[in-house]
DNA sequence: GGCCAGGGGATTA
DNA sequence: TAATCCCATGGC
């Protein structure tokens, strides 16, 4: 497999993208790059900020977390994708990484709204909203509820390794895809005990059965631009274990419904501390009025900001 | 509408 | 070591 290099990419940083809680199947490597799997494709992505050498400098790991916590990281540079081809990059990863969207324009527009957002964007300026598979997002955010990010990752790893299919070998280990709705639909909660999902096991199976009954295309069709946010939200919240929070995450991270503004514990904290709002209703209305169709982008900048700076 | 159990582990006290 | 918390939801 060849390597693919994209030069002079702006508004991009792998730490911001893979550490902002939107995806759970990316693993940070010692060199600061990320290896992950999406729709059965395994890839390693390394971001090299402008002005830095790509290979083996003595200044090891220039993009490590401890650095980023102290000061905002530069978000312009080149991306090196390994274990992929030019064809696959053009046909898949480019869209997955949302590289065709002008985040500079989004950042300028949001920065004008208020000083808090401007500061948040300064910290997470390399965020991109990944375009994930619908079923993966649904499964991931069912597991994410009332849960910690490291444990969410562990649950998803266990699910793939035990019940998914082999996708390929890379960097000395096998990678597995997630179990299909069909696979999970035929199981009972106790069959999943090895994955330590707790009470979420019955949600996964219940939802898998509903997806099987309606057909996966019915779920995927919710990503159609012709389907409104409200209609898709309504559809998703009918699934077992899917409430407003999980639905809004699935809509944002896999269905391109960018006005979605997921409110979790952290976001409620941000909205109260930085914007002085008390009720969830107040927060939703504020987001809608202030950020409008860019609500989802705003949410990600704020979420990353509060997680980095406390 | 408010309350609380659901699992399990990470984090904090 | 104990208590608390976690990218919530369903059921009462």
Indicate whether A178 pLDDT > 90: yes
CA angle, A8 then A14 then A17, to 5°: 115
Portion of chain A with pLDDT greater than 90, in percent: 87
CB < 7 A contacts with chain B (nucleic strand) = A 146-148, 150-151, 154, 193, 196, 198-200, 202
List the A141 CA – B6 C1' distance (angstroms).
17
DSSP-derived pairing of the beta strands A41-49 and A34-38: antiparallel
List the A275 CA – B13 C1' distance (angstroms).
29
Q: Name the nucleotide with the smallest C1'–CA separation from A141.
A: C7
Model confidence band, residue A309 (pLDDT cutoffs 50, 70, 90): confident
Indicate whether A253 pLDDT > 50: yes
Q: Look at residue A255 in the predicted model and tell me its pLDDT.
A: 98
pTM: 0.94
Spatial contact of A114 and A121, defined as CB atoms under 8 Å apart: no
Give the tens place of pLDDT for each residue, A30-77: 999 999 999 999 999 999 999 776 554 333 344 434 344 557 889 999
CA A294 and chain centroid, separation: 16
Q: Look at residue A52 in the predicted model and tell me its pLDDT.
A: 76
Q: How far apart are CA A29 and CA A46, in angstroms?
A: 10
Active site residue A259: no
């Amino acid at each position: 497999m060849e390597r693919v290099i994209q030069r002079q990419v702006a508004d991009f940083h792998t730490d911001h993208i893979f550490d902002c809680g939107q995806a759970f199947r990316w693993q940070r490597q010692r060199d600061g790059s990320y290896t992950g799997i999406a729709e059965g494709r395994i890839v390693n992505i390394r971001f090299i900020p402008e002005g830095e050498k790509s290979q083996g400098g003595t200044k090891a790991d220039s993009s490590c977390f401890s650095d980023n916590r102290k000061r905002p990281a530069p978000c312009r540079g080149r991306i090196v994708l390994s274990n992929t081809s030019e064809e696959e990059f053009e046909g898949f990863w480019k869209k997955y990484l949302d590289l065709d969207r002008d985040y500079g324009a989004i950042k300028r527009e949001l920065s004008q709204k208020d000083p808090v957002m401007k500061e948040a964007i300064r910290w997470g300026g390399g965020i991109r909203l990944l375009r994930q598979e619908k079923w993966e997002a649904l499964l991931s955010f069912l597991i994410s509820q009332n849960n910690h990010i490291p444990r969410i990752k562990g649950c998803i790893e266990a699910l793939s390794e035990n019940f998914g299919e082999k996708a390929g070998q890379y960097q000395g280990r096998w990678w597995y895809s997630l179990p299909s709705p069909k696979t999970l639909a035929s199981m009972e909660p106790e069959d999943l005990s090895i994955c330590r999902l707790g009470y979420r096991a019955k949600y996964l199976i219940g939802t898998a059965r509903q997806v099987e009954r309606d057909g996966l295309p019915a779920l995927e069709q919710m990503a159609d631009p012709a389907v409104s946010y409200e209609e898709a939200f309504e559809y998703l919240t009918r699934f077992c274990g899917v409430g407003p929070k999980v639905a809004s995450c699935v809509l944002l991270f896999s269905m391109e419904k960018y006005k979605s503004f997921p409110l979790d514990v952290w976001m409620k904290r941000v909205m109260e501390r930085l914007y002085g709002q008390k009720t969830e209703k107040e927060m939703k209305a504020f987001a809608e009025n202030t950020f409008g169709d860019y609500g989802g982008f705003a949410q990600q900048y704020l979420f990353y900001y509060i997680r980095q700076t406390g």
